[in-house]
Amino acid sequence: MLDDRKFRVLYAIIDSYISSAEPIGSRTISKYYDLGVSPATIRNEMSDLEELGFLNKTHTSSGRVPSDKAYRLYVDTLVQSKVSAIDKKWKQEIQGVLSKESKELDQLIQNAGRLLSKITNYTSLAISPQLSETKIRHIQLLPIDDYQVLLIIVNESGVIKNTVFKMNRTIPEHQLTEISNILNEKLKNKTFQAINRDLAIGIYNEFSKYKEDLEGLLPFIGKSVNNIESTDLYTDGLTQLLNYPEYRDIEKAKSIISAIEDKDQLIEILQKGMFSSGIDVMIGEENIYEPLRECSIITTTYKFNGETIGRIGIIGPTRMDYAKLIATLKVFSDNISEVINNYNLTDKG
Amino acid sequence: MLDDRKFRVLYAIIDSYISSAEPIGSRTISKYYDLGVSPATIRNEMSDLEELGFLNKTHTSSGRVPSDKAYRLYVDTLVQSKVSAIDKKWKQEIQGVLSKESKELDQLIQNAGRLLSKITNYTSLAISPQLSETKIRHIQLLPIDDYQVLLIIVNESGVIKNTVFKMNRTIPEHQLTEISNILNEKLKNKTFQAINRDLAIGIYNEFSKYKEDLEGLLPFIGKSVNNIESTDLYTDGLTQLLNYPEYRDIEKAKSIISAIEDKDQLIEILQKGMFSSGIDVMIGEENIYEPLRECSIITTTYKFNGETIGRIGIIGPTRMDYAKLIATLKVFSDNISEVINNYNLTDKG
DNA sequence: GGTTAGCACTCGAGGGGTTTGAGTGCTAAC
DNA sequence: GTTAGCACTCAAACCCCTCGAGTGCTAACC
């Protein structure tokens, strides 16, 4: 698609623009990048690259700025070697912070987000663990008083969900225990998704003995299960964005910050790429959500038992050091997944 | 302290500045506020007010701007009548949104925050319910597997906290149940605070029969109880701030937004005023936290069973419509408390 | 034929000077 | 005590100019 020299010119421009945020002229390239040709030649190449859609000018006599298409090419052709270089100091800090006991899974992800923002100097995004694919390990009903029952669900990753609900009649304790036992037997090791499906088609009506009670209870269980599947979005380091010249302009800053505050949209975006394993990079125009058309989002997955259960990443102007950030995210991905899986080392019973 | 006319001039300036954000000149006052005196006279009054510390100039020949001291006086002398006028449409929306079932207490507060920001056009702040003063209604230990025990605590407001912890030996189920029963009996209707205190002085060692088991368990219970007392901060509508001319300047915006992202500091601030019942207004310099010295924070309480359990409010530039905002917050305070207490109407058992 | 030097041209950014107008403080008259 | 009048101040807006980093084109070069 591009001959070698064009390629190198384009790389040079991207590299330079990433660190300076200023349009790049031919002279700068010839001076600081060893391409062995004069500015005039570079000008010719630049002109071609512009025609091909890889470069833009801010005005007729300005230097060039990489387009989204250029970043795309840059990211797609990033060589592994370049990506792997991440500061050892950071690597250790990541391991340190993450392995520190954060009792709840949610909290682990939040901590990871905070650290990610601090390390990268970008705003971090993360969606809470998606547990619909994990299995139930324990389910229990407990009476709180005559009309209230507590439902507890523990899944294999150790996450607990509970709800109190009000009944319109009293179910004696021993009966609740019995129902618990039956439920436990029936639901154990099923995924939330499976349960939801089964509930929908009324598969549990077989407990004829407690039919009436169950009719009252099952909707609550369904609701609880559904609730577990609900997704939160964690963000951190919003102010980081304001350090970039791209957001000197208050209107621009406002637009991106409100976009980030619009959590539902972001959740949708992150979930969409949910199962594209590993790093996902969305550059500028590639974002379907209008207010993010001038941003890039880089995310990675975190896993439990080999299954992807969430994404974490960063957002910022399209001009970002993709190589370094991708490397950093890889480290995060590995470490988070490792910590999650270690949560339950003793849990095979 | 101030004669009537000075008072009225000051009010006029504050009123005008609140809506315009521009320094106010003597002519503006005499034209739009019916004080019955000429600009020259007002100039004299203004000069006096400046000397008294109620007004500032931005430069020698500029109009006047109210000082923090002026806002303080303004707020302290706000007449009730002025405060009570809040749009009926909003009042209904507040009631509507809040009374909609938000299953968890935390979520209710978050929703309230979101709405508050939307209504007021300021960034909202809220601290999660402080439960240390509420009483325990139910406590239970459940085995998950041979080495893991689930601890469940339900308090009177219906909030549930649970933790899974790993034991280094197995306690048979019937024994756990028995311990649960004893704990339940001993701890029921005590506040978290009381339990923490009692735990600290080792008051529960009397369960001699299960002494060994308890020694393993009590620390976890303590940890759980402590955990319940941990406080979150919810913010919403950060971008609202960027609409105010005070934050046109990126550096200013950055400084306030980072201050708001520094949740620990804000929690401390809100907790400090925790028990000053009703509305609390902190104006500019009155804030001990340096980065907020140019902001005002207005907060109110929300209650459970007559006890204050949290605060919710807004933050913005010192130039804000205190009268209207205080009125709005009052409505919030009442409605939130009402909804919280209704959660548990059937819970007297 | 690709590369390069040279040159005219473009355009945004920044500096300096002027004008404008909203404001003040002071003084003298009412 | 109040007010009209006036000299004075100062930020903001505007204009104009210069500067310099950049381009594209052309003609010469290897």
pLDDT per residue over B179-198, tens digit each?
Answer: 888 888 888 888 888 887 77
How many Å apart are CA B129 and CA B109, to the nearest integer? 8
A249: exposed, middle or buried (Cβ count in 10 Å: 0-12, 13-18, 19+): exposed
Q: How many helices (H) and strands (E) does chain B have?
A: 13, 10
Q: For residue A200, how many other CB atoms are within 10 A of its CB? A: 9
Closest chain A residue by Cα to residue B166: A346
**Given CB atoms, is A258 within the 8 Å cutoff of chain B?**
yes
Give chain B's radius of gyration (CA, Å). 26
Predicted pLDDT of residue A264: 92
Confidence grade of residue A193 (pLDDT, cut at 50, 70, 90): confident
What's the Å distance between residue A52 CA and nucleotide D28 C1'?
Answer: 29
Q: How far is A239 from chain B (nearest CA, A)?
A: 6
Confidence grade of residue B78 (pLDDT, cut at 50, 70, 90): confident
Q: Where are the alpha helices (DSSP H) in A21-38?
A: 26-32
How many Å apart are CA B343 and CA B64, to the nearest integer? 50
Quote the tokens at residue B187: 């701890």
Strand D bases within 7 angstroms of protein beta carbons: 2-5, 8-11, 20-26
- Identify the helix (H) or strand (E) that includes residue B51: helix B39-51
**Given CB atoms, is B232 within the 8 Å cutoff of chain A?**
no
pLDDT: which is higher, A12 or B345: A12
Helix B322-343, helix B88-99: angle, nearest 10:
30
Predicted pLDDT of residue A343: 65
Mean pLDDT of chain B: 86
Of A116-120, B129-133, B250-254, B333-337, minimum mean pLDDT range: B129-133
CA distance to B234, B236, B303, B309, B327, per residue, from B300 (Å): 14, 16, 10, 11, 11
pLDDT (average), residues A222-232: 76
Q: Are B149 and B143 in contact (CB under 8 A)?
A: yes
How many Å apart are CA A124 and CA A120, to the nearest integer? 9
Closest chain B residue by Cα to residue A224: B103
Q: Are A117 and A111 in contact (CB under 8 A)?
A: no
Bridge partners of A160?
Answer: A154
CB–CB contact B150 A163 (8 Å): no
CB–CB contact B242 A227 (8 Å): no
**Considering CB atoms only, which of B163, B237, B242 is closest to A103?**
B163
What's the Å distance between residue A123 CA and nucleotide C14 C1'?
Answer: 34
The sign of the CA dihedral A266, A271, A272, A276 is positive
Chain A residues lying within 8 Å of B146, measured CB to CB: 349
Quote the tokens at residue B254: 């950055």
**Considering CB atoms only, which of A154, A236, A239 is closest to B144?**
A154
Q: For residue A40, how many other CB atoms are within 10 A of its CB? A: 10
Q: Are A13 and A74 in contact (CB under 8 A)?
A: no
The protein residue nearest C5 (Cα–C1') is: A40
Confidence grade of residue A286 (pLDDT, cut at 50, 70, 90): very high
CB hemisphere CA count around A166 (13 angstroms): 10
Of A173-182, A196-205, A226-235, B251-260, minimum mean pLDDT range: A196-205
Mean pLDDT of chain A: 86
Predicted pLDDT of residue B95: 86
**Given CB atoms, is B264 within the 8 Å cutoff of chain A?**
no
CB–CB contact A346 B258 (8 Å): no
Predicted pLDDT of residue A103: 63
CB–CB contact B261 A254 (8 Å): no
Strand C bases within 7 angstroms of protein beta carbons: 3-6, 9-12, 21-27
CB–CB contact B261 A237 (8 Å): yes
> At CA B191, angle to CA B185 and CA B193, rounded to 5?
125
The type of residue at B47 is: S
Instruction: Provide the 8-state DSSP code for B313.
Output: E
Closest chain B residue by Cα to residue A155: B144
pLDDT in tens, B115-126: 999 999 999 999
CA distance to A177, A188, A217, B184, per residue, from A170 (Å): 14, 26, 12, 21
pLDDT in tens, A320-345: 999 999 999 999 999 999 888 876 54
Q: Could you check: is the Cβ of residue A148 within 7 Å of any atom of nucleic acid strand C?
A: no
Contacts of residues A241-245 at CB distance under 8 Å and 24 or more positions apart, as own/partner, are A241/A122, A241/A123, A241/A316, A241/A317, A242/B250, A242/B253, A242/B254, A242/B257, A243/A121, A243/B254, A244/A21, A244/A316, A244/A317, A245/A21
Chain A residues lying within 8 Å of B248, measured CB to CB: 250
Confidence grade of residue A102 (pLDDT, cut at 50, 70, 90): low
**To the nearest whole percent, how much of chain B has pLDDT over 70?**
92
CB–CB contact B257 A247 (8 Å): no
Q: Say whether pLDDT at B248 is over 70.
A: yes
Closest chain A residue by Cα to residue B160: A162
pLDDT: which is higher, B272 or A300: A300
A215: exposed, middle or buried (Cβ count in 10 Å: 0-12, 13-18, 19+): exposed
Predicted pLDDT of residue B321: 95
Of A84-88, A289-293, B272-276, minimum mean pLDDT range: A84-88
Of A27-36, A54-63, B179-188, minimum mean pLDDT range: B179-188
How many Å apart are CA A274 and CA A279, to the nearest integer? 10
Q: Say whether pLDDT at B347 is over 60.
A: no
Q: How far is A226 from chain B (nearest CA, A)?
A: 13
**Given CB atoms, is B140 within the 8 Å cutoff of chain A?**
yes
Q: Are B176 and B149 in contact (CB under 8 A)?
A: yes
Nearest residue to A155 via CA among A333, A319, A315, A304: A304
Nearest residue to B209 via CA among B185, B173, B179: B179
Instruction: Provide the 8-state DSSP code for B135.
Output: B
Predicted pLDDT of residue A345: 44
CB–CB contact B250 A248 (8 Å): yes
**Given CB atoms, is B150 within the 8 Å cutoff of chain A?**
yes
**Given CB atoms, is B236 within the 8 Å cutoff of chain A?**
yes
How many Å apart are CA A299 and CA A292, to the nearest integer? 15
Predicted pLDDT of residue B345: 43
Q: Say whether pLDDT at B33 is over 80.
A: yes
Confidence grade of residue A207 (pLDDT, cut at 50, 70, 90): low
Predicted pLDDT of residue A346: 38
What's the Å distance between residue A62 CA and nucleotide C15 C1'?
Answer: 22
CB–CB contact B346 A242 (8 Å): no
The protein residue nearest C11 (Cα–C1') is: A61
Predicted pLDDT of residue B261: 93
Q: Are A30 and A38 in contact (CB under 8 A)?
A: yes
Chain B residues lying within 8 Å of A138, measured CB to CB: 142, 144, 150
Beta strands in chain B (DSSP E): 55-57, 64-66, 123-127, 136-145, 148-155, 160-166, 233-236, 280-283, 295-304, 307-317
pLDDT in tens, B281-335: 999 999 999 999 999 999 999 998 888 889 999 999 999 999 999 999 999 999 9
Q: For residue B92, how many other CB atoms are within 10 A of its CB? A: 10
What's the Å distance between residue A251 CA and nucleotide D22 C1'?
Answer: 28
The protein residue nearest C9 (Cα–C1') is: A61
The protein residue nearest D2 (Cα–C1') is: B41
How many Å apart are CA B340 and CA B105, to the nearest integer? 7
Q: Are B27 and B39 in contact (CB under 8 A)?
A: yes
Query: Is the whole model's pTM more than 0.85, yes or no?
Result: yes
Q: How far is B90 from chain A (nearest CA, A)?
A: 22
B5: Cβ–Cβ under 8 A, 6 or more apart, which residues?
B35, B37, B45
**Considering CB atoms only, which of A239, A250, A261 is closest to B248?**
A250
**Given CB atoms, is A349 within the 8 Å cutoff of chain B?**
yes
Closest chain A residue by Cα to residue B348: A145
Predicted pLDDT of residue A306: 85
Q: How far is B63 from chain A (nearest CA, A)?
A: 27
pLDDT in tens, A228-284: 677 889 999 999 999 999 999 899 999 999 999 999 999 999 998 877 778 999 999
pLDDT (average), residues A55-61: 94
Chain A residues lying within 8 Å of B261, measured CB to CB: 236-239
Confidence grade of residue A104 (pLDDT, cut at 50, 70, 90): confident
Footprint of strand D on the protein (CB under 7 A): A 22-28, 39-40, 43, 46-47, 50, 57, 61-64; B 36-38, 40-41, 44, 58-62
Q: Say whether pLDDT at A348 is over 50.
A: no
Quote the tokens at residue A326: 């991708």
The sign of the CA dihedral A70, A76, A79, A85 is positive
pLDDT in tens, B42-68: 999 999 999 999 999 999 999 999 999
Q: Could you check: is the Cβ of residue A288 within 7 Å of any atom of nucleic acid strand C?
A: no
Predicted pLDDT of residue B346: 38
Closest chain A residue by Cα to residue B259: A239
**Given CB atoms, is B144 within the 8 Å cutoff of chain A?**
yes
How many Å apart are CA B134 and CA B169, to the nearest integer? 33
A233: Cβ–Cβ under 8 A, 6 or more apart, which residues?
A125, A126, A127, A128, A263, A266, A267, A270
Q: DSSP string of A80-130?
A: HHHHT---HHHHHHHHHHHHS--SSHHHHHHHHHHHHHHHHTSEEEEEPP-
Nearest residue to A309 via CA among A333, A287, A344, A280: A333
Nucleotide closest to residue A44 (CA–C1'): D24
Q: Are B205 and B144 in contact (CB under 8 A)?
A: no
**Given CB atoms, is A234 within the 8 Å cutoff of chain B?**
no
Predicted pLDDT of residue B207: 62
